[in-house]
Amino acid sequence: MSAILQPRPTVGAPVLWRFPHVDESRLDNGLRLLAVHLPGKHVATAAVLLDVPVDADPAGQEGLAVIAARCLDEGTTSLTATEFADALERQGASFHASAGYDGITATLDVPVSRLGTALPLLADAVLNPVFPQEEVDRVIAQRLVEIVQEQSNPPSRAGVELPRLLHVAGTRHTIHAAGTPESLAALTSVSAAYLARIAPSTTTVIVTGDLSGVDVPGLVHQSFGDWQGTADPWVPTSPQYDTRRRALVVDRPGSAQTQLVLGHSAPDRSAPDWSAMGLAAYALGGTLTSRIDAVLREEKGYTYGMRGSFAPQRRGGAFTIHGSVDTDSTAPALQDLMTVLTTASTEGLREDEHVAAREYLVGVSPMRWETPGAVASQLGAVVGNDLPLTWIDGYLEGLRTATLDEVNAAMRTHVRPADLLVVAVGEAAAITSALHDQGWADLDVIPA
Mean pLDDT along residues 5-34: 91
Residue 4 is assigned to a structural domain of this protein: no
Query: What torsion do the CA atoms of 348, 351, 356, 360 make, to the nearest 10 degrees?
Result: 80
CA distance to 176, 204, 331, 357, per residue, from 158 (Å): 12, 34, 17, 28
Q: What is the pLDDT of residues 259-279, one digit of tens each?
A: 999 999 999 999 999 999 999
The burial class, CB within 10 Å (0-12 / 13-18 / 19+), for 221 is middle
Please choose, from the candidates 205, 203, 209, the residue with its C-alpha nearest in 3D space to the C-alpha of residue 375: 209
The residues, ordered by sequence, that sit 6+ positions from 398 with a Cβ below 8 Å of its Cβ are: 273, 274, 275, 276
Does any domain span residue 17? no
pLDDT at 146 over 80: yes
Q: Which 3 state secondary structure label does DSSP give 346?
A: helix
> Rounded to 5 degrees, what angle do the CA atoms 19, 104, 43 make?
50
3-state secondary structure of 263: strand
Does 262 lie in the same domain as 184? no
Query: Alpha helix locations (H) across 199-273?
Result: 216-224
Contact assessment for residue 228 and residue 128, using Cβ atoms and an 8 Å cutoff:
no
* Structural domain of 136: 23-224
pLDDT tens digit string along 313-363?
Answer: 999 999 999 999 999 999 999 999 999 999 999 999 999 999 999 999 999
DSSP assignment string, 86-104: HHHHHHT-EEEEEEETTEE
In a domain, 232, yes or no: no
Give the strand pairing for 23-26 and 103-111: unpaired
User: Does 236 map to a domain?
Assistant: no
Q: CA-to-CA distance for 320 and 110, rounded, in angstroms? A: 37
Judgement on whether residues 259 and 366 belong to the same structural domain of the protein: yes
pLDDT over 70 percentage in the chain: 100
Of 224, 259, 274, the last residue of a domain is 224
Write down the pLDDT at residue 349: 96
Query: 237 in a domain, yes or no?
Result: no
pLDDT per position as a tens digit, 392-401: 999 999 999 9
pLDDT at 170 over 80: yes
Provide the 3-class DSSP secondary structure of residue 324: strand
Same-domain status, 281 and 201? no
Q: What is the pLDDT of residues 186-198, one digit of tens each?
A: 998 899 999 999 9
Chain segment 208-251, per-residue pLDDT in tens:
999 999 999 999 999 999 999 999 999 998 999 999 999 999 99
> pLDDT value at position 189?
86
The CATH number of the domain where 175 resides is what?
3.30.830.10
Are 61 and 188 in contact by the 8 Å Cβ rule? The answer is yes
Whether 48 and 177 map to the same domain: the answer is: yes
Does residue 5 carry a pLDDT above 90? no
Q: Are residues 219 and 339 in the same domain?
A: no
Q: Is 235 part of any domain?
A: no
* Helix (H) or strand (E) run with residue 107 in it: strand 103-111
Q: What is the mean pLDDT of the chain?
A: 95
1 has pLDDT over 60 = no
DSSP assignment, residue 208? E
In a shared domain, residues 271 and 214: no
Does any domain span residue 9?
no
Q: What is the dihedral of CA 30, 36, 42, 44, to 10 degrees?
A: -40
Residue 2: the pLDDT is 67
Residue 188 φ/ψ region, left for φ over 0, alpha for ψ in the -120 to 50 degree band, beta for the rest:
beta
Residue 403, exposed/middle/buried by CB under 10 A (0-12, 13-18, 19+)?
exposed
Distance CA(419)–CA(246), nearest Å, equals 9
Q: Which residue has the higher pLDDT, 403 or 437?
A: 403
pLDDT for 227: 98
Query: What are 218-224's contacts with CB under 8 Å, separation 24+?
Result: 219/115, 219/116, 219/119, 220/27, 220/31, 220/33, 220/119, 221/27, 222/116, 222/119, 222/120, 223/119, 223/120, 223/122, 223/123, 224/27, 224/29, 224/31, 224/123, 224/127, 224/200
Spell out the residues 6+ positions from residue 255 whose beta carbon is closer than 8 angstroms to its own. Answer: 154, 327, 425, 426, 427
**Would you say 46 and 108 are in contact if contact means Cβ atoms under 8 Å apart?**
yes
Computed on alpha carbons and rounded to an integer, the radius of gyration of the chain in Å comes to 24
Cβ proximity of 167 and 242 under 8 Å: yes
Q: Tell me what pLDDT residue 13 has.
A: 77
CA dist 383 and 206 (Å) reads 10
Average pLDDT of span 119-145? 97
How far, in Å, CA of 448 to CA of 445, rounded? 9
- 3-state class percentages of the chain: helix first, strand second, coil last, to nearest 5: 45, 20, 35
Is the pLDDT confidence value at 379 over 90? yes
Q: Is 188 among the domain residues?
A: yes
- Output the pLDDT for position 188: 83
Within this chain, do residues 182 and 294 fall inside the same structural domain, yes or no? no
| Cα(159)–Cα(337) distance, integer angstroms | 19
Indicate the residue among 224, 258, 285 that finishes a domain. 224
Specify the pLDDT at position 7. 86
The residue type of 13 is A
Residue 131 shares a structural domain with residue 202: yes
How many structural domains are present in the chain? Answer: 2
Return the minimum-mean-pLDDT range out of 13-17, 25-29, 230-234, 388-392.
13-17
179 shares its domain with 293:
no
Query: 201 and 296 in one domain?
Result: no
d(CA 436, CA 143): 36
Say if CB 403 and CB 207 are below 8 A apart.
no
Whether 268 and 315 share a structural domain: yes
Residue 219 and residue 79 in one domain: yes
Q: How many CA atoms lie within 13 A of 65 on its CB side?
A: 27
